[in-house]
Amino acid sequence: MNRALDDTGAVTAEFAVVLPAVFMMLAVSVLSISAQVERLKMVSVAGMMSRAVARGEPAATLNQVFAGQIEGREWQISNQGLFVCVELTRQVAIASLPDFDLRLAETQCARKMGL
């Protein structure tokens, strides 16, 4: 039998070439889904915080009330005319790229009360 014409092991070689690409696509998909879930959480928390600031709640109260939700995140308040805005940011580390962090940010605004 001629070994050059034999295709024994070809499937194994093709599988070994394709498998890393499949795992990489799967990892990117899971990372993007988890980043979107984190962003949706940030939308909710930033909205609640902006409404609290618009009611006149002090920053110390916000830190106490939202301590569990803002853990690991940075936030800041800004005024934009009749609105007060809260911006939440978080750095998300990508496991396969240790020197590359993804910055997630979400800004929500609420109308100032009493105007």
Q: Name the residue with higher pLDDT: 27 or 75.
A: 75
The answer to whether residue 78 sits within a structural domain is: yes
Write out pLDDT tens, residues 90-114: 988 776 667 778 889 999 999 998 5
Model confidence pTM above 0.75: no
The answer to whether residue 97 sits within a structural domain is: yes
What is the torsion angle, in degrees rounded to the nearest 10, for the CA atoms of residue 45, residue 47, residue 48 and residue 50? Answer: 120
**What pLDDT score does 8 carry?**
67
The answer to whether residue 52 sits within a structural domain is: yes
**What pLDDT score does 29 carry?**
86
The residue range of the domain holding 101 is: 37-111
SS3 content of the chain, % helix, strand, coil (to 5): 45, 30, 25
Instruction: Please return the burial class of 96, using the count of CB atoms within 10 Å of its CB with bins 0-12, 13-18 and 19+.
Output: exposed
Mean pLDDT of the chain: 85
**H-helix or E-strand containing 13?**
helix 10-54
Pairwise CA distance, residues 64 & 11, whole Å: 59
The answer to whether residue 86 sits within a structural domain is: yes
Give the mean model confidence (pLDDT) for residues 52-78: 90
The answer to whether residue 26 sits within a structural domain is: no
- CA 9 vs CA 1, 20, 22: distances in Å: 16, 18, 20
Number of domains in the chain: 1
Instruction: State yes or no: pLDDT of 37 exceeds 80.
Output: yes
